[in-house]
Structure 1
């Protein structure tokens, strides 16, 4: 039976910063347990819970992180390396990949408007 790659898992304590706005992104994360807070400056954007993916935009478009991710509670995450995301996107219709880039660009442009 073939098995996929074994993905790394990490734990963060409540209050620990996972990444900061402006950082280069080489991995994305899936929340396994706990709550992660996303914020820009002093503005809270969202609380993410079990199953939520975050940090993915920087992997797709190569731009710096547009938010800070902080463990609001003790958090366990699955780490998704850029290489894995790239390999998944390589098999996708180019139209879909282009659409992803357009959507990410729209989100980043909207975020600049509200700053």
Structure 2
């Protein structure tokens, strides 16, 4: 039966035990697992508006990149809710945004040498 349902033997065994002990009612779905969303639908819409405004509108003027860390900070500032960076990443994807890495350049970087390397013949 486990193979037919494409589940592990352990899951099939647990379901069978639940059914034997409490009947079919014990097998009713409890909904999706995991933690519930900390933001209401209204707050999610507001967050999407804030993200559309861009980072500069919220104090990040160095570049116009939404990083997951910035979004987690923005959520904390605007909604007084704590999100980890990984949770902010999932939330951004859910809203149709993608987190991007901030542009970090080495202070000693030689821009002219980099440009010469890009223009070198035979280089793709």
Shorter-chain TM-score range: under 0.3
TM-score (norm 1): 0.21
Q: Select the structure of larger CA radius of gyration.
A: 2
- More helix by proportion, 1 or 2? 2
TM-score by length of 2: 0.20
